């Protein structure tokens, strides 16, 4: 039985917006038909080229968490608006526990680093002051 698969079927498949049985049926078709795979790759390529909304980014990256580097940059406010929105969405709306824990860990590390830098500065000033007094 061959099922006619349209562009919008493929779109929905990429969005994982179909019922599990439909998803499975289309997946079987895609695996056995290189032309469908090509179409799918083309749709995916177009999406990669023009990703605009946070929702779109989310749908495409649903299964992947931001990297630790991205989370770190997010803490420092170093991500561009689009990425920052995605990470925010992932943390607050999706409430990914893994990333929340990761972020918490990074925040603690940054606090510790800031403290170490501060006490180093303090020591430096104290020794400099002591040195100046001796003169
Ligand atoms: Zn996550």
Distance 104 CA to ligand 1 centre (A): 13
Per-residue pLDDT at 48? 64
Give residue 45's pLDDT.
Answer: 75
What percentage of the chain exceeds 90 in pLDDT?
A: 13
How many angstroms is it from 35 CA to the middle of ligand 1? 34
Closest C-alpha among 57, 82, 59, 83 to residue 70: 83
Better-predicted residue by pLDDT, 95 or 122: 122
Give, as residue ranges, everything with CB less than 5 Å from ion ligand 1: 65, 96, 98-99
Read off the pLDDT of each residue in 108-117 and give the average, rounded to a whole number: 88
Q: What is the sign of the dihedral through the CA atoms of 117, 77, 88 and 40?
A: negative
């Amino acid at each position: 039985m061959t099922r006619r698969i349209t562009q919008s079927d493929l779109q929905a498949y990429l969005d994982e917006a179909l019922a599990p049985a439909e998803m499975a049926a289309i997946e079987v078709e895609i695996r056995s038909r290189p032309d469908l795979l090509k179409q799918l790759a083309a749709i995916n390529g177009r999406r990669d080229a023009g990703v605009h909304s946070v929702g779109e980014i989310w749908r495409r990256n649903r299964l992947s968490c931001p990297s630790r580097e991205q989370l770190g940059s997010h803490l420092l406010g170093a991500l561009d608006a689009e990425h920052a929105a995605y990470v925010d969405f992932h943390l607050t709306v999706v409430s990914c526990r893994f990333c929340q824990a990761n972020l918490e860990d990074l925040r603690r590390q940054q606090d510790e680093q800031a403290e170490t830098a501060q006490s180093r500065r303090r020591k430096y000033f104290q020794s400099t002051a002591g040195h100046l007094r001796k003169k």
